[in-house]
Structure 1
Amino acid sequence: MQQIILRDGRVAELRVAKDDAHDRALIRDLAARVSAESLYFRFMHVVKEVREDLITAMIGDGGPNALGLLCMAGDELIAIGNYVRLGSGETAEVAFLVDDKIQQKGIGTLLLEYLAETAWNHGIVRFEAYVLRDNTPMLSVFRASGYELVSKIESDTVHLYLSLSHTEKFRRLREMREKRATVASLKPFFEPSSIAVVGASKDPTHLGHILLKNILQSDYTGTVYPIHQTASSVSAVRAYKSVLSVPETIDLAMIAVPAAQVSAVVDDCLSAEVRAIIIVASGFSDRGPEGAALEQEIARKIRGAGRRMIGPSSLGVLNLTEAIHMNASFSPILPVGGSLAIASHSGALGIAVLEYANRIGVGVSSFVSLGNRVDVSGNDLLQYWEDDPDSKIIVLYLESFGNPRKFWRITRRIARKKPIIVVKSARTASAFSLSKTRQSTLAAPDAAVDALFRQAGIIRVNTLLELFDAAALLSYAPLPRGRRVAVVTNTAGGAVLTVDTILREGLEFVSPVINLGFEALAESYREVLPQVLRDPSVDAVMVIFTPVSATDQEGVIKAIAEAVQEVRQEYEQLGQTNELKPIVANFLTPGNDFVHYICAGSMRIPVYPFPEHAVRALAKVTIYAEFCRTEPGVLPVFEAIDTDQVRAFIRRNLREELSFLPPEQALQLLSLLGIVTAPAKQPDARTLWLEIKVDALFGPLITLHAFHDFGATSDEVWQIKSVTRIMPLTDLDAREMVEAVLNPWQLQSGSARGLMSMLMRFSVLIEAAPEVAQVTCRRIELSEEKAFAVEFEIGVQAVPAR
């Protein structure tokens, strides 16, 4: 089954119809429930009872020639969409029947999208539909879908033709619809007006008691209902025996009872029409097959009722915005409100993250402990935070990817607006084997993860300490305009270590080091810093300080703050705040084990415990700033490539299993793509080659390899450079791949442009033809003006590999 989210935030599931008594009965029951008008619109004539032959046509054969897609709300069928191929061609007729009570909630649009995707994978390139002119809602579904649409009015009927190719408009509208629905579904978690704590206890050691206490002590602006079977009150708040007894509809239920009791509590919550559920109890998939089965049973109940769930094994949610101010979690620390939105796969580490954020003074807007991620995922949270005005920086601790391609699409859209910092753990086989997600998730190849993060503009860090080092800088400092870093110090030893780290991290050192010595320190920093900050050859400043006497530090802090304020006020008066530069500092003093700040008016300067920490944070932020300054890539469009012709050519040469096109057909396919080919001239030379493979998690990946030699004849002086990207490629992706493997002197040549073109044309092939499962170009030759594919192999198969 495929979970979908409707426009109003409710959840339903899609599945392929089966030709059995059960599904036939579901379709008959739906047809009996809908109005006569809905049946008339669907079949275009008066229908009293849907015949069995019509039901057979609606169910189809699973996709190759006909497909029925059922939309289920629990055990009830609420809509069906189906297509039927017309003859043996590439066109299919599509139609829908939606329960009257759920119409205009986005179901028709979602059914159309999923039907189109399946049809496309089976070689159908266009849909036809006949819609009565009075059927305005269905006409709106087609017109708002984003597919290229042609319509003809034929008497009282509109004849529609939809091209199923994914245009940029279609992608944009689909993403917008998905985000809008997801945000609506998550509002009860983040903005509840009422919370029920099921399992609230008088025992201060009990989880239910801790949870209730934290909500009450956080000055939550809504209403809290303790649920206790026998107590009349808990923590001086009136208690109720069950959620069914509560006198108002509950937005959010927190379930803190033993795992064996959760299913019955969920039943009560659904009967009481609770909008959202967080299960904090453990003992589900983390405890073996029986627990996993119970977890899935509960998930089916919640989805069937159109509700959403966080957990199980979640440690809760925080929303520290002024309007809500809620600590519905087990965190003993209530951080200050701020701009950091945090999601964690690990509850315990998530609590540690909150504690560290509080210690270093980085404010938090919201926090979610995802637990077992049976329903709500990191992808959902990203879409909620995308337009949340209180969340300006997004922080994720990930152990695995549920849907990495979706994660890639979402983060690629968000990262230019808001920085996303990610710790991706479970990078090794040993670590992955310890992850609680290992039983339900495939291990992600690190090269693919790195490609995803680079293409999306995500700031990847290796440790939680690095995460907060970067967050501390991003929270209060402007982004650097370049890589040039000046060093102002009163200690040569610290400067040596700093300059080494600057160069090692890929930044540029602006020489010389400005060494202030050990006399009149405060005055020296006060005088020199404004000059450095105004210097147009400097993009960022690193300040190092080692005290000579016990009274030095306070004076230096004041001098640095005054210097920064002076320059800031100057730029503000000139209307040149974009000229402001980030400053990072290191005070080599005992006892400073955490990042802290120097307050300089509206700016805060992070002071790191070690100079390496400061420089690494600056390097991460600088790379992110470069990403933000780069124009977003665009998907290539080659007017000379007829993608329909390419697809038809491949489908004529399909086999049931993976097979490779004969050399002459592979050559013909590359010719259709406009890829230049040539016979091998130097059989023993291999300088460039590429591979395209379909990863089970990430979909199609393209890797470009290059041999580089350093002037000697020994094999040991050859080095392989490789770069991987997720497809489809934008022009920016292709350029970055070429820049990563070619020598600098080659980048301005026609061959570099030819290699970029080759990569993008292969990307067009993969997008146009899902039947392409593998491409290997064992050798690519570069001339002064072109790139030639010399030895190539193309694998295809009838069943789509994605």
Structure 2
Amino acid sequence: MWARAWEADVVLRDGGAAHIRPIQPHDADALQAFHVAQSPRSTYLRFFAPMPRLSPRDLTRFTTVDHHDRVALVVLVGDAIIGVGRYDRVEEGVAEVAFNVSDAHQGRGVGSVLLEHLVVAAREQGITRFVAEVLPENRKMLDVFTEAGFATTRAVEDGVVMLTVDIAPTDRSREVMEAREHRAESESLRRLLHPRSVVVVGAGRRPGSVGGRLLADLVGGGFTGDVHVVHPEADVVRGVPAVRSLADVPGPVDLAVVAVPAESVNEVVEGLAELDVRGLVVVSSGFAEVDEAGLARQRELLRLARGHGMRLVGPTSFGIINTDPQVRLNASLAPVVPPPGGLGLFSQSGALGITVLDAANRRGLGISTFVSAGNRADVSGNDCMQYWQDDPATTVVGLYLESVGNPRKFSRVARGLARTKPVVVVKSGVSSFTVPPGHAVRETRAPREALDAMLRQAGVIRVDNVHQLFDVAQLLKTQPLPAGERIGVVANSGALAALAAEAAVSWGLDVADPAVVAPEAEASEVREALQRVFSDPDVDAVVACLIPPVTEVDREVVAALQEVAADAGKPCAACLVALVGGAERTLSLSRVEPGETSDDEPAAGAAGTATGDATAAGESGGDKDDDGDVHGGAASGALPVYSTPEDAVRSLAAVVRYAAWRRRDPGTRVDPAGTDARAARSLVESLLSGRTADDPPLQLEQEEVSALLACYGVQLWPSITVRSADEAVRAADRVGWPVAVKATERRLRHPGLGGVRLDVADARELRAHVTSMLAGPAGSGGGSTPALLVQAMASAGISVLVRTLEDPLFGPLVSFGLAGDTTVLLGDVSHRIPPLTDVDVVDLVRTLRAAPRLFGYMGTPAVDVHALEDLLARISVMADDLPEVFSSELSPVQVAERGLAVLGAQVELAVPVGRADAGRRVLPQ
């Protein structure tokens, strides 16, 4: 179990990859080599004494551990150990910890990675506190502990600093880990996208050669660095001098682009390791997308790349692009590269990569960078988002996703990015979590609505197709964010105005009375209407729909629209329909002044950008003020143009929702008082003792459920099992009258099945109900002897249910709904992925379609929503703390005007398989 859980690939501070795993006896020689290479000072700081070599006894002691009381992890690049971290249990719950990092790899964050992974391993073995002895002059090691974010105390004894570290996770330790992960992954992508030198392996001279095309595009694109080509026979390929083998390439090389047959790729990677390559793009196919042999080949490719410190894009990648004038990298198969701009693009599909780039180019939307992940063996959308968050050239992010390998991390990373830069996502497979060939994705038990909930929670704009992605992106890139959801409509056609207004209402926007002018209205009249609507304080954004009365467009009318929109500082989406040759087109006004004409129009049906400055078209996202809000994007002269009012309004509605999410306080992570995570962990570990991950989930008894919920401050309403009328009366006397009588089989409690009797007030009535129920279906559960449950009546209110699920893909998932038909028949359930903030909890309740019933509906009293939110927060913390909770359901939960009662609960436990985002820096396998 430890080997699977503790072995991982990681990204270090400088962006290089490394491998971390438990030490093994066969590491003795590598450990000795590591030790001998250390300087005398480093050895003294570690062992407090000179030690040129490790004795055979020390080597045996250091490499032979039990992985329980004595744990040691090594960090490797290739076969070389670059860091060692270990702990030894010294007493119950306490272990002494020590690190040693190679002199040659100091400053790469090896020590902090070791500490993170040792902490996770120690928690699993019941360790709660680390102690360490560190010499005062060993500042780097002291910093590893003090900067980790854990509660740390120190004292000096006999000239040695004695550290005590409480390894329970804190908000600060999580922030530190996530910040380090962000910096490392961002840097690893920066090294890929900003290479100083590139080697192309597999560039052929024959026409149609994939490698030759890559080389031609790289050179033709004006790459500013050095280009190397490997060819076994040619001296020159596509005008670039070639060498016979990788051994002849003058190193080091930052990026390698590989286009050789799949069977030869891994051999090439071995050779690239000698050049200190840190980035690898494999366009070759024939890996996991074809068969099991290809899958094995891909796994070996990933092992080799990471083992040698490389980040891998692909295989079956379409390539990568960076339009930065200081780089000009086109290592892709794109026939046309869009101009430089602020849109960062990621695609998991090679074929869709072509579509994405072509669409961006046709619309005049410049891009900053583009990454095609192919089989996504390593570099993913998460990595790209980490990079784009730091990249000043990127203002809007677009992702085409065929699968989401780590939704929990995606949610966390996307949420951080979306706070400053919009994220627009196309996710294929709407009807299910479709996994394309070649993508390694865990199976999921979560409902398909969970993905949409995750994206909304993260502030991501989800669209249905690539067309909509660019519809939204061009609005985000050229316009300021709206301050609200009040929409004004200006049109020179009543029909267009009606279409726009109806579309806005259907998207939940507030619409002011449309301002309609005559189709033949002069520019001055259109300008006046525009100014009136834009200046209205009750209008936050404007949709302008203009159709020419004849075949020619009035350029002065369009110029008036541009000028008024630019001066207003409010977003505008335009529908400018030009009838040219009987075909509907959007109009591009690049380099067009009022009164001039232009034949430079995009293809029919495409959206575009109207602008008075070709270099500014689609490229200004506005200026940012000190608060980070975007203002005045239209001042650049750029205006997004759509072919239909519906397209314009749909895009504007998406941006309105995003702006509302961004304006909101993100909230603080919920941390309810009165929880005891350690007691809960001890309880689940004792209940699962002796079980394995292959065993079926363990259904807890009610006493065990009650004990677990109590660890999180949740009281389960007591019930007593009875098998006769006399027992029922004694139980009612004990719990208090009036009582409810329920079938032990939960399905029989549905209204109409006779499994529940409520508000039973006296013994005579109770005896009659019990006798009747025991004789019918309700008495069939609970074993060989018919049984029922007697429970005190809770206060009147609304019944709800709360569920959690430990999903192999999503990790913990919390679901909420009203008990009854709205959930069972209509699927009215809301979902969120922990950890939750207080704002997430509020949304979990209020995004339910039936939520108005909780706040007073049709004259009914409002219930205690505050108590409900407190319960949801506690259950979300339990789900986040305990991956062993396979599933739980609290139902019914009776929410009264004051307080609530958890009347029933079921919990299943299982040995967890491990979360994809497990509180330490780990690259996906």
TM-score (norm 1): 0.91
Moved more, 537-546 or 617-626: 537-546
Match of 1:659 in 2: 698
> Residue 450 of structure 2 corresponds to which residue in structure 1?
448
1:184 deviates by 2.7
Which stretch shifts more, 396-405 or 73-82?
73-82
> Which of 840, 845, 849 is the equivalent residue of 1:733?
840
Residue pair 2:287, 2:438 contacting (<8 A) in 1 also: no
In structure 2, the CA distance between the partners of 1:656 and 1:582, relative to structure 1 (3 Å rule), is farther
Is the contact between residue 58 and residue 67 of structure 1 (CA under 8 Å) also seen in structure 2? no
**Separation in 1, partners of 2:410, 2:101:** 30
1:738 alignment partner AA: V
The offset of 1:522, in angstroms, is 3.2
Deviation at 1:30, TM superposition (A): 3.8
Report the Cα distance in structure 2 between the residues aligned to 1:256 and 1:797, rounded to whole angstroms.
45
Contact 1:401-1:441 within 8 A present in 2 as well: no
Of stretches 189-198 and 94-103 in structure 1, the one that deviates more from structure 2 is: 94-103
Letter in 2 for 1:548: P
Name the amino acid aligned to 2:302. A
Using the TM superposition, give the Cα deviation of residue 271 of structure 1 relative to its aligned residue in structure 2, in angstroms: 1.6
| Partner residue, 1:465 | 467
Equivalent of 2:105 in 82, 102, 124: 102
Determine if the alignment matches structure 1 residue 79 to structure 2 residue 79.
Answer: no
Q: Does residue 60 of structure 1 match 2:168?
A: no
Q: Residue 480 of structure 1 contacts residue 582 of structure 1 at CA under 8 Å; is this kept in 2?
A: no
Pair 1:134–1:750, CA change in 2 (3 A)? farther
In the alignment, is residue 690 of structure 1 matched against residue 702 of structure 2? no
The question of whether the paired residues in 2 share the 8 Å contact of 1:74 and 1:300 is answered with: no
Instruction: Answer whether contact 1:516 1:525 (CA < 8 A) is retained.
Output: yes
Residues 405 and 440, structure 2, Cα contact 8 Å, conserved in 1: no
Alpha-carbon distance in 2 for matches of 1:297, 1:335: 35
Contact 1:488 1:544 in 2 (8 A): yes
Shift of 1:604: 2.1
Shift of 1:629: 0.3
- The answer as to 2:714 corresponding to 1:675 is yes
TM-score scaled to structure 2, two decimals?
Answer: 0.79
Contact 2:251 2:275 in 1 (8 A): no
1:595 aligns with 2:607: yes
Q: Could you tell me which of 277, 280, 283 is aligned with 1:280?
A: 283
Q: Tell me, in whole angstroms, the C-alpha distance in 1 between the residues paired with 2:220 and 2:30.
A: 50
Q: 5 Å matches for 1:117-196?
A: 117-196=120-199
**AA in 2 matched with 1:129:** A
Query: Are 1:772 and 2:885 an aligned pair?
Result: yes
Q: Distance in 2 between matches of 1:499 and 1:9?
A: 50
1:382-393 equivalent positions in 2, closer than 5 A? 382-393=385-396
Shift of 1:535: 0.3
Amino acid at match of 1:620: A
The whole-number CA distance in structure 2 between the counterparts of 1:287 and 1:330 is: 21
Which of 719, 729, 746 is the matching residue for 2:854?
746
Q: Distance in 2 between matches of 1:336 and 1:440?
A: 34
CA distance in 2, matches of 1:456, 1:642: 28
Q: In the alignment, does 2:690 pair up with 1:617?
A: no
Query: In structure 2, which of residues 17, 37, 50 is the aligned counterpart of residue 11 of structure 1?
Result: 17
Shift in Å at residue 720 of structure 1?
A: 4.5
For 1:514, give the aligned amino acid.
Answer: A
Maintained 8 Å contact 1:484/1:507: yes
For residue 500 of structure 1, the aligned residue among 496, 499, 502 is 502
Q: How has the CA–CA distance of structure 1 residues 230 and 485 changed in structure 2, closer, same or farther, with 3 Å as cutoff? A: same
Conserved? CA contact 2:544–2:572, under 8 Å: no
Distance of 1:226 and 1:25 partners within structure 2: 38
Q: Are residues 679 and 343 of structure 1, via their aligned partners in 2, closer, same or farther at CA, if it must alter by over 3 Å? A: same
| CA 1:263–1:675: 2 relative to 1, 3 Å | closer
* Matched-pair contact (CA < 8 Å) for 2:863–2:895: no
Query: Is the deviation greater in 184-193 or in 353-362?
Result: 184-193
Once the two structures are TM-superposed, the CA of residue 675 in structure 1 deviates from its matched residue by 2.7
**For residue 572 of structure 1, what is the aligned residue in structure 2?**
none
The alpha-carbon deviation at position 28 of structure 1 amounts to 4.7
Distance change >3 Å, CA 197–CA 628, structure 1 → 2 = same
**Structure 2 residue ranges without an equivalent (≥5):** 1-6, 586-604, 613-634, 692-696, 720-738, 743-748, 752-797, 857-861, 916-925
Q: 1:621 to 1:672 in 2, by over 3 A?
A: same
Aligned partner of residue 903 in structure 2, secondary structure: strand
Q: Which has the larger radius of gyration?
A: 2
Are the aligned partners of 1:152 and 1:160 in contact in 2 as well (CA < 8 Å)?
A: yes
Displacement after TM superposition at 1:39 (Å): 4.6
Residue 555 of structure 2 corresponds to: 554
1:117-157 deviation per Cα after TM superposition (whole angstroms, max 9, x unaligned): 12223332222222233433222211111111111222122
Unaligned runs of 5+ in 1: 569-576
Secondary structure of 1:775 counterpart: strand
1:186, distance to aligned residue in structure 2 (A): 2.5
2: CA distance between counterparts of 1:668 and 1:295?
47
* Post-superposition offset of 1:797: 4.7
Q: How does 1:79-478 map to 2 (within 5 A)?
A: 79-87=83-91, 89-429=92-432, 432=434, 435-438=436-439, 441-442=442-443, 445-478=447-480
1:391: Cα distance to partner? 0.5
Distance 2:879 2:820 in 1: 29
Residue pair 1:707, 1:720 contacting (<8 A) in 2 also: no
1:788 to 898, 901, 905: 901
Q: Which amino acid aligns with 2:73?
A: L
Q: How many angstroms does 1:330 deviate by?
A: 0.8
Q: Could you tell me how far 1:485 is from its partner in structure 2?
A: 1.3
CA distance in 1, matches of 2:900, 2:576: 49
Kept after mapping to 1: 8 A contact 2:404/2:441 = no
SS of corresponding position for 1:287: coil
- Confirm or deny that 1:761 pairs with 2:795: no
1:770 to partner: Cα distance: 4.3
1:778 offset after TM fit, Å? 1.5
Alpha-carbon offset, residue 343 of structure 1: 0.9
Distance 2:426 2:184 in 1: 28
Per the alignment, do residues 36 and 772 of structure 1 end up closer, same or farther by CA in structure 2, a change over 3 Å counting? Answer: farther
SS of equivalent residue, structure 1 residue 432? coil
Higher deviation after alignment, 676-685 or 3-12: 676-685
- Cα deviation digits, residues 609-632 of structure 1 (max 9, x gap): 122111111111111001100011
| Compared CA separation, residues 555 and 660, structure 1 to 2 (3 A) | same
Distance 1:751 1:248 in 2: 68
The letter of the residue matching 2:408 is: R
Deviation at 1:673, TM superposition (A): 2.5
Question: Secondary structure at 1:488's aligned position in 2?
Answer: strand
Aligned to 1:571: none
**Could you say which residue in structure 2 is the equivalent of 1:539?**
540
- Structure 1 vs Structure 2: percent identity of aligned residues? 35
2:671 to 637, 648, 651: 637
Indicate conservation of the 8 Å contact 2:453/2:831, yes or no. Answer: yes
3-state secondary structure, aligned to 1:394: strand
Once the two structures are overlaid, the 10-residue window that deviates more, 782-791 or 692-701, is 782-791
CA distance in structure 2 between the partners assigned to 1:523 and 1:158 by the alignment? 79
Distance in 1 between residues matched to 2:430 and 2:50, nearest whole Å: 61
1:558-597 deviations in whole A, cap 9, x for unaligned? Answer: 23223324x34xxxxxxxx5xx233333527433111122
> Matches of 1:287 and 1:293 in 2, distance apart?
11
Change (3 A) 1:547 1:280: same
Counterpart of 1:491 in structure 2 is 493
Contact 1:771–1:800 (CA under 8 A) maintained in structure 2: no
Q: For CA contacts below 8 A with separation 6 or more, give which structure has more relative contact order.
A: 2
1:704 alignment partner in structure 2:
816
Q: Which amino acid aligns with 1:547?
A: P
